[in-house]
Amino acid sequence: MVKDKIRLILLNLVIGNTDNVDKTKLYHQYIKSCIYNSSLVDLNNEFLIETQDKDEIESIKLFKEWKLFIRLLESKKENVKSRHKLPNKPFREFKALFRQRNMKGNIKNLRNFDHILNTDIFPFNDTFKKIKTEPQMVNAFYKLLIYSYFNGELKPSTKKGKRIYQYVFDEFNNSDIINLQFKDLPEFIL
């Protein structure tokens, strides 16, 4: 438990350069960092295989799968007045991809392999451990991706005279992403 608190403080110092910890913000930044930086890694790179432990390599592979969902969400976003919108619930293609890519197993494996998510620092492990049904897991995963990767917020709006809720977010910006996926940053990432 003390070890987890120390990790949390260190992560916050790396990201925010402050000792005032905002766990929720840090959690979403960690997820965004892992998705984004995994997509940049070439798993055929022998240097990577030699320098990283097996759990880190497995974590990278799993987060690479998440990038497929990001691409799908990007293709479905609706552009309105320099902002983007997505439905408040997962759409049919998202659910199909979730089943096709065995994301239930992927999430379970991340709970075991990722050196941060397998702790009690963030709610990831606890949240997904408690989910019993696939629809609940799809919804939780959808929401996590939108909040973490796009910094989306659920907001009310009107469509054809009806009040609806949609996730609203600005253009994706990767300038604030720090690579937090590796225990020790390999030289080729720096």
Domain containing 118 equals 2-79+90-133
Within a domain: 123: yes
φ, ψ for residue 27 (rounded to 5)? Answer: -60, -50
Within a domain: 28: yes
Within a domain: 56: yes
Report mean pLDDT in 10-residue bins for the chain, 190 residues: 51 53 83 91 79 82 95 94 92 98 94 87 90 96 96 89 92 71 46
Number of compact structural domains in the chain:
1
Q: What is the pLDDT of residue 76?
A: 96
For residue 27, the number of C-alpha atoms closer than 13 Å in the C-beta half-sphere is 17
| Rounded Cα–Cα distance for residues 66 and 117 (Å) | 15
| Rounded Cα–Cα distance for residues 126 and 11 (Å) | 19
| Rounded Cα–Cα distance for residues 190 and 187 (Å) | 5
Which residues sit opposite 23 in a β-bridge? none
